Structure 1
């Protein structure tokens, strides 16, 4: 009974976080809606392609044969490859976009919420305070954006608290937990490269403090190398494929954005992504003022975490000089894109500081002050909770209107049969949705004519040359990751084939391998068709060393899973 009671006691925070997640998602559950946000169609195409590869056991790491209009373009190799296969596996198991979205929404909220709870508990023992700041964290910034818009930065936000936990342990223990650090960085690298860079940069101050205070610097440096080597091995598939493609092709960077327009702003009734609601901002200002005023009495860790968080929050905001920065460093427009991404670090840093301060104040205050402090924190919780739930209800209701989609950004083709779209989101054929709703996405297209081509790939060209032409051809995926297109021609002439070719692409027309052929600015081939039936086959030819690195990375992950499974079994046997 004692073991059961202890187990229940340990499970209570997770149960509470699960309940919070359920309330945040009740709109979708009640309305049976699927929220198609700004990034949904991009990621749905990626994950569907991975799901079909797994279902057919016909793999193509580089070439996209099932998603993105079956164009053969490269996406997943450049953008969270193993995470795409993980989501593809989920989609294949769950069978529909509606079930997939519910499950992954819960995953993001639970991972992020539990991480924030563990972070708060690490610095102060009161579970009630930890749960309150966790609730705020689950309702602000990027974490809800997977639920509301399918922004992948949400996964980075969910993992960020775990990185800060490791940072705090560096400061306190004067050593690094190299295995956990290597594992964490490897996981986020497989999800989102930019989040990896942000989290790595976040840990630098913690690391240098640890290095300064450590009595065993040689061991610390050795453990650092272990973490780096572990991450390098587990992410070999990513850095190898990115470097390989960058050095052999001119790849279009992601679309540039105005940094100033995508910095953090104050929202009256908004608190996700671009906005911070007044009550949350006020509590952060009070926290900053408190640690500065009480700097000689407040916990040093609280002081530095708050200062660090406030600095990052300032960098993410419209108060920072983003306009001149963009002129000075224009590459940030395509690589950082949104300064608000930095809030994935600012929010947990500031919230853990709030937790420490509230805990200290409750210890030293009389009953009236305790009630006031608790009431103020509860008010902030409700202020952050209500807009998020309201937004979810509004987007869920929109699903049942003629609009259906929550976001129409860059959508170029939508079926007029809205009921058919809804059916495709709940039906057992997820690929149907990708033909009913098509979006132009220029990321990672090749740039053939670099002299006259704009810095960003032309999404309009992709729309005209691939999306509008796709339905004129019959597509078939062949073994060994090959893609075949067939069509009938009334005469012999030059024709545009709606596929994307790279320097490693092998193109075969009517049985003959083509060594030279004309291409458009985005790599769409212009070929001479013959009268009657024509067949084109596309295959991406990767070198053996690249295949070897992919196999090595997979093997390392399998060994890791085996090691972790063994540890869990040993722990269960001991208990």
Structure 2
């Protein structure tokens, strides 16, 4: 009896054990070398999380103004970029103590969640555990590891399978195509993490919605459920939309640095040769069996569209000439690959399942072996890339690199940012019409010229104090960033219409002797009300969702998302 129970449990959980093992293996070399990879966007996002961690640690919260990181200039970053997620990651950083532990744990969790989401997607359309498990580990090995640059492409890849589950439901469940609680929760989570992903995921869901609407037994109910989902999503993300409206209407802000969109597209080198061959086989199979499975043909078609859009095949050079703003806002067409990869893998899983169902043992074994080889080739590529970053992140034998190596292992995460200027212009106020590249040069030069003179102190109620000694009565530029709702007090007096440089750093007249400046950011009553609504909505919807799931399970009506 006990053995049967154990066997039953193992039968249910073995795919998840496989995902755990593969996720550990992906970071095993980095664990062995005890290296923290600090490249690409690492400093930017680590600074965000560190600031949130310090706010939690000191019980001194400032939703907009960053007082502990970004060179303690008072910049606004988290307020415009995944604030709740930043606090979640900040809380985790406090628990794990240093950047090495933080990176290993977050990379493991992101990889694990990605594979679980993909497994659930594949299981929903194939009901084949072995094929779905292989699809899950292939996906885990094909998406970029969070530790290899800490870009939010990894986060988007983690989220998209759960969004795709909603899309699949739209075209397969004709009775109730939309579970509005499910859709609202997932889109709410995405919004609190990465707003750009919301745009991509809405584009992803649009064809699923249209396809589902055509097949829905009650079109009015589908529209009504969509309306409920949208309304609940707005309640869950009320703080996000206020921040975005303020950023666009209340401030004139610099965009990220302009890039070549053609250079930001993916190339065939992104995938192994075997992977490319298998994807082409999938395309040929669907063309030959076009009418056999609507879902397979539909998903494969979408994969082809998003695949082309993410590559240099699409005329991105022409697009950026007509819409140059995209070079700063969207930047990299390869971001669209986060839609292509899960779609093609889901379609591949459907095809594999169709072939296996023919009860030809030799062909079935061949399909499983081929999928296993795709995984191994992708896994090998990802391991080699992660090993490269592990070995080369602090390769040069310089004093700066030795300092950084010590900093990422230190129990004081703030050591990583000592003497480090974060050179991203994102969300700096724009007081002069110059390029983002020039803006960051102005910002960096001001900090290099003056920052060592100033002492920083974080005061209660999210205020930031800097003090210095003036040798003469003259104008100086303070290493602070002022927005329209910022308030500056200099030597006990509020400064009104202060002169600012191109990126909002104020020029003030110092006194001889000790000078003190205090920077704060004044939030509106409307914002306080909206963030309260967002927090209460999360509590109510989460409790309702859990209660509904328990009730459905008791009634035997539970469905995988």
TM-score range, shorter chain: over 0.9
Using a 3 Å threshold, how does the CA distance of structure 1 residues 133 and 90 change in structure 2: closer, same or farther? same
- Contact 1:253–1:443 (CA under 8 A) maintained in structure 2: yes
1:306-321 matched pairs, under 5 angstroms: 306-321=300-315
Classify 1:561/1:56 alpha carbon distance in 2 versus 1 (closer, same or farther; 3 Å): farther
Task: Say if 2:324 is the partner of 1:330.
Answer: yes
- CA drift of 1:61 comes to 0.8
Q: Cα gap change, 1:208/1:567 in structure 2, threshold over 3 Å: closer, same or farther?
A: closer
1:264-275 superposed matches below 5 A: 264-267=266-269, 275=270
How far the C-alpha of 1:468 sits from its partner, in A, is: 4.6
Q: What is residue 363 of structure 1 aligned with on the other side?
A: 357
Match of 1:287 in 2: 282
Q: The residue matched to 2:50 in structure 1 has which SS?
A: helix
Match status 1:463 vs 2:444? yes
Question: Are residues 1:232 and 2:215 paired?
Answer: no
Contact 2:71 2:422 in 1 (8 A): no
Between the aligned partners of 1:52 and 1:570, the Cα distance in structure 2 is 40
Match of 1:439 among 417, 422, 436: 422
Q: Secondary structure at the match of 2:271?
A: strand
TM-score, reference length from structure 2 = 0.94
**After alignment, is 219-228 or 181-190 more displaced?**
219-228
- 1:419-430 → structure 2 map (5 Å cutoff): 419-430=402-413
Whole-Å Cα distance in 2 between the matches of residues 467 and 545 of structure 1?
38
Q: Which deviations, in whole Å up to 9, do the C-alpha atoms of 1:240-292 show, x marking residues without a partner?
A: 0110132121111122211111111011xxxxxxx233221221111111100
Instruction: Please say if residues 20 and 135 of structure 1, whose CA atoms lie closer than 8 Å, have aligned partners that are also in contact.
Output: yes
Could you list the runs of 5+ residues in structure 1 that have no partner in the other structure? Answer: 268-274, 404-414
- Kept in 2, the 8 Å contact 1:252–1:456? The answer is no
Query: What is the CA RMSD across the aligned residues, in angstroms?
Result: 2.0
1:522 aligns with 2:503: yes
- Partner SS, residue 35 of structure 2: coil
Q: Which residue is equivalent to 2:54?
A: 52
Per the alignment, in what secondary structure is the counterpart of residue 141 of structure 2? Answer: coil
**Is the contact made by 2:257 and 2:424 (CA closer than 8 Å) also made in structure 1?**
no
CA gap of 1:379–1:92, structure 2 versus 1, over 3 A, is same
Give the SS at the match of 1:439: coil
SS in 2 for 1:534: strand
Residue aligning to 1:494: 475
Q: Write the mapping of 1:136-151 to structure 2, written as runs, cut at 5 A.
A: 136-140=138-142, 143-151=143-151
Alpha-carbon distance between aligned partners in 2 of 1:507 and 1:88, rounded to the nearest angstrom: 28
CA distance in 2, matches of 1:417, 1:457: 25
Is this contact kept in 2: 1:65–1:481, CA < 8 A? yes
Q: Distance between the aligned counterparts of 2:555 and 2:541, measured in 1? A: 21
Return closer, same or farther for 1:286/1:420 CA change in 2, 3 Å cut-off: same
Deviation, structure 1 residue 314: 0.7
Contact 1:109 1:144 in 2 (8 A): no
Deviation at 1:394, TM superposition (A): 2.2
Matched residue of 1:138: which SS?
helix
CA contact (8 A) 1:97 1:426 kept: yes
Residues 146-177 of structure 1 show CA distances to partners (whole Å, capped at 9, x for unaligned) of 12110012111111111111111111112211
Match of 2:527 in 1: 546
Q: Give distance in 1, aligned partners of 2:363 and 2:9.
A: 34
Which moves more between the two structures, 129-138 or 364-373? Answer: 364-373
Aligned to 1:249: 251
- 1:73 maps to which residue? 75
1:354: which partner in 2?
A: 348
CA-CA distance at 1:439 after TM superposition: 3.0
Residue 464 of structure 2 aligns to a residue whose secondary structure is strand
Structure 2 unmatched ranges of 5 or more: 557-561
Task: Give yes or no for contact 1:264–1:276 (8 Å, CA) kept in 2.
Answer: no
Which residue does the alignment assign to 1:170? 170
Q: 1:544 to 1:179 in 2, by over 3 A?
A: same
Report the Cα distance in structure 1 between the residues aligned to 2:420 and 2:498, rounded to whole angstroms: 31
1:210 Cα shift? 1.5
Equivalent-residue separation in structure 2 for 1:204 and 1:492 (angstroms): 62
Separation in structure 2 between the aligned mates of residue 237 and residue 386 of structure 1, nearest angstrom? 42
Q: Which residue of 2 aligns with 1:536?
A: 517
Give distance in 2, aligned partners of 1:5 and 1:376: 28
* Cα 1:454/1:422, change in 2 over 3 Å: closer
Question: SS at 2:298's partner residue?
Answer: helix
Distance 2:359 2:319 in 1: 45
How far off is 1:564 after superposition? Answer: 4.8
Cα offset, 1:91, TM superposition: 0.7
Are 1:41 and 1:438, in contact at CA under 8 Å, matched by a contact in 2?
no
Partner-residue secondary structure (3-state), 1:469: helix
What is the aligned length?
552
3-state DSSP of counterpart to 1:475: strand
Which residue of 206, 225, 236 maps to 1:223? 225
Residue 291 of structure 1 contacts residue 302 of structure 1 at CA under 8 Å; is this kept in 2? yes
In 1: Cα distance, 2:276 partner to 2:90 partner: 38
**2:125 maps to which residue?**
123
TM-aligned CA deviation for residue 417 of structure 1: 4.8
* 1:373 Cα offset (Å): 3.2
Report deviation, 1:441: 1.3
Is the CA contact (8 Å cut-off) linking 2:256 and 2:424 kept in structure 1?
A: no
**1:281 and 1:50 mapped to 2: Cα distance?**
42
Q: TM-score, normalised by structure 1?
A: 0.92
Q: Distance in 1 between matches of 2:262 and 2:393?
A: 32
Whether the 8 Å CA contact 1:115–1:161 is kept in 2: the answer is yes
Q: Which residue of 2 aligns with 1:411?
A: none
Cα distance between partner residues in 1 of 2:495 and 2:475: 15
Does the CA-based 8 Å contact 1:253-1:456 persist in structure 2? no
User: What SS does the corresponding residue of 2:254 show, helix, strand or coil?
Assistant: coil
- Determine helix, strand or coil for the equivalent of 2:483: coil
